[in-house]
Amino acid sequence: MGKIILNSKNLTKSYQNGDRRLVVLNRINLKLEAGTITTIIGESGSGKSTLLNVLSSLDTFDSGKLLIENEDIKSFNEKKISSFRNEKIGFIFQFHHLLPDFTVMDNVLMPLWIKKGFGQYERPLDLLSDFGLLKIKDKYPDEVSGGERQRVAIIRSIVNKPKILFADEPSGNLDEKNSAKLIDLFKRINRDFNMTIMLTTHNPSIAKIGNNLYELKSGELIKR
């Protein structure tokens, strides 16, 4: 096994539901090897989004341990976790979440503005060109297609060269043709940038692209 970039140990997450406590993640143990693709399947409501949110530091957990690049995420204060997330983590939501009042180029630049300030144009322009989107860089999100919006969201998520890219049902709002393009895009990102990718999906074609496939069932992560 190569370098372990993420290691969760007995990770537990629950919610209060009236008088009951609902355990969504039950003692999750997972190791992500750098440069691999991991896919997670599971029924709707099984907790896949919660798992991704917790592992990506977007949400907290009740107990257990989460190490990313051997750093204990639970020990971070809010300022440090925000900085860590901006530099090390990329996240793609099912809906693109592009800011409607900003151009495609501005949306891609957002993570760089947060990290380094203004004037960082070379990598965003290279990525837009590489993914065939340079021609729409000055358009607004509502002026481009759904597939283009999703690709812009992907570029935005990798512009800071994160160590891990998380994607929550990235093909959920795409048709079959654009889903196939998305599969190729994830493979390419993994290959060309050696980026570790973890994604959830209902799509059997996307589930098969991973080096590792897991199912989340009754709060437990099962290797398939």
The predicted-structure confidence for 187-218, as pLDDT tens digits, reads as follows: 888 988 889 999 998 888 788 888 899 999 99
Question: How remote is the C-alpha of 43 from its chain's centroid?
Answer: 19
Q: Are 103 and 138 in contact (CB under 8 A)?
A: yes
What pLDDT is recorded for position 54?
Answer: 94
pLDDT at 208: 85
Q: Which residue, among 124, 114, 51, has the nearest Cα to 85 in the 3D structure?
A: 114
What integer best gives the mean pLDDT of the chain? 87
The percent of residues in the chain predicted with pLDDT above 90, rounded, is: 43
pTM of the model: 0.87
In terms of Cβ atoms closer than 10 Å to its own Cβ (0-12, 13-18, 19+), residue 150 is buried
Residue holding tokens 């993420």? 6
Domain count, the chain: 1
Check which CATH number belongs to the domain holding 21 and give it.
3.40.50.300
Question: How many H helices and E strands in the chain?
Answer: 7, 10
Domain containing 177 equals 4-223
Structure confidence at residue 213 (pLDDT): 94
